[in-house]
């Protein structure tokens, strides 16, 4: 029978850039088998060496996760839709997170009544709801694309205290999607720039800034005084760290993520439903799924997804609205499609399941869990600087340069005479490389190229391999200043 397989953007690089494929199969397993037969590179992304589905990949049939059905043996009907969702119990709480005592302790003056007039006219919000907003404390982790609309709309809505956490500074590349920052803010701390913008929007609210990186040592102290945490970060370590701290401290977490044209939003609250680990038990291997920094994002998507996050925050504060607890909303802005998927609580979750194993943040090794720690038994990847590579090219030394970037990245910047081999094809195309010649691997930032080298090592390739340190970003002013490689 014919079944439609929908492929999330993060996996399309392994499937010929296709977003959907019609395949024959009576079970999910049969459909995925036919999919990986047709696109062998997708097999490594979806399945581990034991041929079990990787834990960072979720498969849905009819809006339900197959974990809640019959797993890979879930039977399919004619014209069913199977959805692949990698990392990248709905409910309507009777009351918001703000107690009656805290609400009654707040008053609205004449200026605030004028400012929030359109809220006050809504029966679902009214004076009581607006006072809850004023009494609320919300922490936003990350001031990039998602943090921008979160901060702006929560400030405009009158959330009384907003905490903002980010250790980074504003760069020129941020301005395409992070509209809370302006050109004059380049090189300023994002927290300082965002605070100025927040105060310009609404001088009546309190802003707490944390120009630091969230770590195992500081996260609980930072979030413990807030009612809600909104995750607008862009790395897996922060995702799991924030989730775990929220579970241990009993805080609802409003999650948002995006990639190219697609976004995800959910509310994780282990007291009433699943947590982030229930949906994504572990992150993908380092370098397998490119980040937004490596693969780009349409400038409007952060505004859409961040605004939905802000909306979920407001509903949690005010109460009465249908929350995304136990559900995940997926939106594809390019094809303009959206769907809600159920997210079940995992009884085996290590932090919110029946028999938890994580009790303290500081005792869990997040670096190792997210693949950020070098394996002591793994042979270190030898690197080469852009300066050294430029010298070797200038001297005419025999070299093979392998570009593992995506096609859209190469359309922006080309490396002259490079051999183009996507990471997923390296193992079966290793015979195209000369093991007697030095091979230099390049990507955008020098991270995926490390994965490429380790992939070839596992496949048995013995030739000398080097990683271009810092990737094309570090090389463009050195190697390409007179080559015309950059458009």
Report, as residue numbers or ranges, the catalytic residues: 292, 443
Please enumerate in sequence order all residues whose Cβ is within 8 A of that of 109, keeping only pairs 6 or more positions apart, or say none: none
Residue with tokens 């997926």: 330
140 in Cβ contact with 297 (< 8 Å): no
Spatial separation of the C-alpha atoms in residues 468 and 241, rounded to whole Å:
30
HEC profile for the chain? CEEEEEECHHHHHHCCCCCEEEEECCEHHHHHHHHHHHCHHHHHHHECCCCCECCCEEEEECCEEHHHCCHHHCECCCCCEEEEEECCCCECCCCCCCCHHHHHCCCCCHHHHHHCHHHHCCCCCHHHHHHHHHHCEEEEECCCCCHHHHHHHHHHHCCCEEEEECCCECCHHHHHCCCCCCHHHCCCEHHHHHHHHHHHHCCCCEEEEECCCCCCCCHHHHHCCCCEEEECCCCHHHHHHHHHHHHHHCCCEEEEEEEECEEEEEEECCCCCCCHHHHCCCCCCCCCCCCHHHHCECCCHHHHHHHHHHHHHHHHHHCCCCECECEEEEEECCCCEEEEEECCCCCCCCCCCCCCCCCCHHHCCHHHHCCCCCCCCCCCCCEECHHHHHHHHHCCCCCEEEECCCHHHHHHECCCCCEECCHHHCCCCHHHCCCCCCEEEECCCCCHHHHHHHHHHHCCCCCCEEEECCHHHHHCCCCCCCCCCEC
Spatial separation of the C-alpha atoms in residues 69 and 265, rounded to whole Å:
23
Residue with tokens 């390296």: 426
Spatial separation of the C-alpha atoms in residues 183 and 185, rounded to whole Å:
5
């Amino acid at each position: 029978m014919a079944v439609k397989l929908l492929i999330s953007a993060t996996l399309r690089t392994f499937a010929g850039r296709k977003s959907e494929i019609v395949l024959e199969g009576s079970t999910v397993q049969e459909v995925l088998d036919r999919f990986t037969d047709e696109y062998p590179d997708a097999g490594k992304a979806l399945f581990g060496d034991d041929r079990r589905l990787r834990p960072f990949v979720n498969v849905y049939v009819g809006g339900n996760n197959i974990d809640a059905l019959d797993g890979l043996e879930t039977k399919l009907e004619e014209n069913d839709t199977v959805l692949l969702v990698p990392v990248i119990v709905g409910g309507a709480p009777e009351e918001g997170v703000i107690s009656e005592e805290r609400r009654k302790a707040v008053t609205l003056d004449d200026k605030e009544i004028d400012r929030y007039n359109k809220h006050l006219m809504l029966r679902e919000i009214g004076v009581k709801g607006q006072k809850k907003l004023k009494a609320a404390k919300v922490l936003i982790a990350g001031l990039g694309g998602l943090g921008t609309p979160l901060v702006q709309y929560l400030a405009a809505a009158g959330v009384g205290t907003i905490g903002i956490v980010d250790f980074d500074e504003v760069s020129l590349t941020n301005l395409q999607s992070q509209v809370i920052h302006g050109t004059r803010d380049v090189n300023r701390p994002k927290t300082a720039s965002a605070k100025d913008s927040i105060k310009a929007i609404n001088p009546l609210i309190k802003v707490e800034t944390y120009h630091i990186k969230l770590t195992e040592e500081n996260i609980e102290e930072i979030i413990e005084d807030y009612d809600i945490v909104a995750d607008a970060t862009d790395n897996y370590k922060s995702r799991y760290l924030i989730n775990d701290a929220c579970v241990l401290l009993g805080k609802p977490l409003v999650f948002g993520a995006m990639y190219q044209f697609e976004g995800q939003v959910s509310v994780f609250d282990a007291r009433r439903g699943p947590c982030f680990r229930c949906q994504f038990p572990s992150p993908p291997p380092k370098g397998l799924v490119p980040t937004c920094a490596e693969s780009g994002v349409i400038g409007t998507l952060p505004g859409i997804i961040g605004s939905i996050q802000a909306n979920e925050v407001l509903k949690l504060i005010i109460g009465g609205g249908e929350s995304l607890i136990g559900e995940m909303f997926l939106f594809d802005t390019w094809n303009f499609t959206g769907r809600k998927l159920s997210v079940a609580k995992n009884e085996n979750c290590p932090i919110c399941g029946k028999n938890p194993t994580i009790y303290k943040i500081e005792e869990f090794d997040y670096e190792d869990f997210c693949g950020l720690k070098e394996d002591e038994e793994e042979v270190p990847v030898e690197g080469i600087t852009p300066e050294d590579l430029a010298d070797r090219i200038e001297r005419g030394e025999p070299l093979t340069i392998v570009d593992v970037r995506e096609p859209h990245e190469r359309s922006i910047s080309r490396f002259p005479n490079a051999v183009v081999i996507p990471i997923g094809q390296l193992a079966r195309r290793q015979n195209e490389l000369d093991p007697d010649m030095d091979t230099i691997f390049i990507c955008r930032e020098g991270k995926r190229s490390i994965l490429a080298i380790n992939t070839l090592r596992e496949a048995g390739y013995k030739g000398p391999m080097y990683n271009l340190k810092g990737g094309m970003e570090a090389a463009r002013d050195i190697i390409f200043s007179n080559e015309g490689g950059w458009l």
